[in-house]
Amino acid sequence: MRILITGGAGFLGSHLSKRLLHEGHEVICMDNFFTGRKRNILPLLENPAFELMRHDVIDPFKIECDQIYNLACPASPVHYQYNAIKTIKTSVMGAINCLGLAKRVGARVFQASTSEVYGDPSVHPQPEAYWGNVNPIGIRSCYDEGKRCAETLFMDYHRQNGVDVRIVRIFNTYGPNMCPDDGRVVSNFIVQALQGRDITVYGEGQQTRSFCYCDDLIEGFVRLMDQSETVGPMNIGNPGEFTILELAEKVIQMTGSSSKIIHEALPADDPKQRQPDITQAREVLGWEPQYSLDEGLQPTIAYFDQLLSEGS
Ligand code: NAD
Ligand code: UDP
């Protein structure tokens, strides 16, 4: 198949590109390089089945393809808050452009949604049937509401125009190819630990997240995309739940760092807890995460170590 990946030069997009090329598909990688990097896709550029296209997903595009994975959107709070209006435009107009193209060429189209659609959840763990608790006017809203609106568009194109859609709700995912300065907790803590700088825990560090290794997530993506039983939305994530303080201690221990933990102000609207209910993924896809947090952190630490030694 010929497969378009928007946001293909980012953290997850680069892993997905590699996986789909490995399966023998042609991959068209579209990216505006806001948070994506050439380094992530450098090993793929020599492959004749890989094509790179610098383009902004908010501007319309016409491409003959069989499948579309829509991943284009900054994912880290620091990056998505940098230009909030651009973030919501990326989610909403990017979804409309991908859906319009899918409708025209008859492609199956996949939306990278997020656990952020649950906001600061009052149901724990979060099943797909939970509608969420999202502040519509806060500093995280450009991302949360943009992704919620994209889900609405996907379901409306599906119901109204019969577009073949898939929606995945991704819970915090980490691994090699994350940006070292992207501000997310796993990359921040590992880089701080490797550089012997203070580890910045926001608030008391009692808020929780459930961390999924990238290879597990990509396996879930492909299984959801390549089956015809359900369109989603479907949670994909690792139910192993940790406090942020536990993560900081684990990173210090695994890197053998002399870094100290310091506490900084908790950002507004920071969700207090998050854990996926993955019953649907288990039953429909037979999917389970394979990597424990320790197993996933090892290659991630090795990647950042290498990156820092290159000075990039
Ligand atoms: P990332 O920032 O590494 O990747 C996003 C990619 O999209 C980058 O390459 C960026 O340059 C590109 N992009 C951004 N705006 C664009 C635009 N207007 N036009 C074209 N390209 C654009 O982040 P990621 O972690 O790889 O996230 C990929 C997708 O998965 C995002 O849609 C994100 O919302 C979603 N997601 C990720 C996580 C996670 O934990 N990693 C969690 C929930 C959802
Ligand atoms: N966080 C932290 N220190 C950091 C970066 C993040 O304590 O240097 C916290 C943040 O406040 C949040 C959690 O870690 O409670 C996860 O943050 P991240 O930005 O990775 O993802 P999200 O909040 O979108 O789940």
Q: What is the pLDDT of residues 197-222, one digit of tens each?
A: 999 999 999 999 999 999 999 999 99
* Per-residue pLDDT at 311: 81
Answer whether residue 47 is part of any domain: yes
- Using a 6 Å cutoff on CB, does residue 74 contact ligand 2? no
Cβ 9 vs Cβ 38: under 8 Å = yes
Give kind and range of the element (H or E) at residue 174.
strand 173-174
CA of 29 from ligand 1 middle (Å) equals 13
* Residue spans of the chain under pLDDT 70: 312
Find residue 109's DSSP bridge partners. 68, 165
The preferred substitution site among 71, 115, 174, 179 for testing ligand 1, maximizing ligand atoms within 8 Å of CB, is: 71
Which residue has the CA at smallest separation from atom 12 of ligand 1? Answer: 7
Find the domain containing 137 and state its range: 2-174+211-239+272-292
Answer whether residue 300 is part of any domain: no
Question: Whole-structure pTM over 0.90, yes or no?
Answer: yes
Answer whether residue 127 is part of any domain: yes
Q: How many domains does the chain contain in total?
A: 1
The answer to whether the bond into 233 is cis (omega within 30° of 0) is yes
Question: Quick one: DSSP state of residue 231?
Answer: -
* Per-residue pLDDT at 312: 65
* Per-residue pLDDT at 250: 98
List the CATH number of the domain containing 93.
3.40.50.720
